[in-house]
Amino acid sequence: MGNVPRRSPPPPGPADGSGGRSWRSHVDRLLLGAATTTCAHVCVLYLMADDGRVLLMEAESGLPEPVARSWVLIRTTDQSPVAVAARERRPVWLADREEMARDFPLVALAFPYGFSLAVAPIVRDGDVRGVMLLLWPPAPARQPVREELDVLTATCDDLARILPENKPPVPPGHQPRILAREQPRDGDDVLLTCLNRLPEGYCMLDVEGRIILITDPAAELLHADPDELVGKRPWDALAWLADPAYEDRYRAAVVSQEVTYFTTANPDGQWLAFHLYPGLAGITMRVTPSTMARDPRTVMPDPVVAADRPPRLVALHELLHLASTLARAVTAQEVIDLVADHVMPAYHVQALAILTTKGGHMRVDASRGYSRKAIEEWDGQPLVRLSPDPNHPLTAGTAAFFGSWAELHATYPDAVRSDNMCAWAFLPLTAAGRVVGMCILAYDRPHRFTTDERASLTALGGLIAQAFERARLYDVKHQLAQSLQSSLLPRTLPSLPGLEVVARYLPATPGMDIGGDFYDFIRLDDT
Q: Is the pLDDT of residue 6 over 50?
A: no
CATH architecture observed for domain 189-291: 2-Layer Sandwich (3.30)
Q: What pLDDT is stored for residue 287 in this prediction?
A: 93
351 pLDDT higher than 80? yes
Residue 466 phi, psi (nearest 5): -65, -45
**Distance, CA of 219 to CA of 202 (rounded, Å):** 9
Specify the pLDDT at position 496: 73
More confidently predicted of 432 and 62 = 62
As a whole-number percent, the residues of the chain with pLDDT over 70 amount to 75
Q: pLDDT category, 34, cuts 50, 70, 90?
A: very high
Task: Say which residues have a Cβ less than 8 Å from residue 218's Cβ, sequence separation at least 6.
Answer: 200, 201, 202, 203, 285, 287
Calculate mean pLDDT across residues 231-260: 89
How far is Cα 287 from Cα 270, in angstroms, rounded to an integer? 12
Q: Quickly state the pLDDT bin for 510 (edges 50, 70, 90).
A: low
**Which pLDDT belongs to residue 64?**
84
Residue 133 has pLDDT above 60, yes or no: yes
Of 267-281, 284-298, 306-320, give the lowest mean pLDDT range: 306-320
| pLDDT tens sequence across 383-393 | 654 454 555 66
- Same fold? 20-178, 189-291: yes
Per-residue 3-state assignment (H helix, E strand, C coil) for 148-176: HHHHHHHHHHHHHHHCCCCCCCCCCCCCC
What residues does each domain of the chain span?
20-178, 189-291, 312-478
Amino acid at 135: L
Contact 244, 313 (CB under 8 A): yes
**Which CATH superfamily hosts domain 20-178?**
GAF domain (3.30.450.40)
pLDDT band at 503; cut points 50, 70, 90: low
Would you call 396 helix, strand, or coil by DSSP?
helix
Dist CA 30 CA 130 (whole Å): 14
Q: What is the mean pLDDT of residues 475-482?
A: 67
End-to-end CA distance of the chain: 88
Q: Of 263, 278, 272, 265, which Cα lies nearest the Cα of 311?
A: 263
Least confident range of 156-165, 276-285, 364-373, 474-483: 474-483
> Which one of 3.40.50.300, 3.30.930.10, 3.50.50.60, 3.30.450.40 gives the CATH number of domain 312-478?
3.30.450.40
Beta strands in 345-477 (DSSP E): 351-358, 361-368, 400-402, 423-431, 434-443
Average pLDDT, the chain: 78
* Contact criterion met (CB below 8 Å) for 97 and 114: yes
Instruction: Convert 83-106 to b/e letters by CB count within 10 Å (16 or more is b).
Output: bbbbbeeebbbbbbbbbbbbbbbb
What confidence score (pLDDT) does residue 11 get? Answer: 46
**pLDDT given at position 59:** 93
For residue 432, give every residue at least 6 positions away whose Cβ sits within 8 Å of its Cβ, in sequence order, or none: 469
